């Protein structure tokens, strides 16, 4: 068994918006990152991802709609759906997604 301090792991990251892999469950990776208020450009992924806000708020535009995901909430972005981070996103974010075996 491996217990992870998610907030502590995010706080120790040297750069905001640079995720760190916390662990794997089969082909699925669980990553953490620290949000610092900066917006991020739109992106699209080949697989779905779950975005769970541990603390703070994640401000998104998903498929053209604005959505705020708050602490203890999660947003699932389906494969092929464009999404971008809006300014003002701050806190700790956990991302659950498929990851390549090389990680």
Domain residue limits, the chain: 6-98
- At 99 the pLDDT is 77
Taking domain 6-98, whether its CATH number is 2.60.120.10 is answered by yes
Cα–Cα distance for residue pair 16/38, rounded to 1 Å: 9
CA distance linking residue 103 with residue 99, whole number of Å = 7
What the block records as the tokens of 101 is 């075996």
Question: pTM (2 decimals)?
Answer: 0.91
Lowest-pLDDT choice from 1-5, 26-30, 73-77, 80-84: 1-5
Residue 101's pLDDT band (cuts 50, 70, 90): low
> Using one digit for the tens of pLDDT, what is the confidence trace for 22-74?
999 999 999 999 999 999 999 999 999 999 999 999 999 999 999 999 999 99
């Amino acid at each position: 068994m491996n217990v992870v301090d998610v907030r502590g792991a995010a706080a120790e990251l040297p750069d905001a918006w640079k995720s760190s892999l916390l662990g794997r469950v089969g082909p699925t990776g669980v990553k953490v990152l620290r949000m610092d208020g900066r917006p991020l450009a739109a992106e699209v992924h080949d697989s779905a991802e779950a975005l769970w806000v541990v603390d703070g708020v994640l401000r998104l535009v998903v498929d053209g709609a604005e959505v705020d995901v708050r602490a203890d909430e999660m947003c699932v972005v389906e494969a092929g759906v464009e999404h971008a981070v809006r300014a003002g996103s701050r806190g700790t974010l956990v991302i659950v997604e498929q990851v390549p075996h090389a990680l």
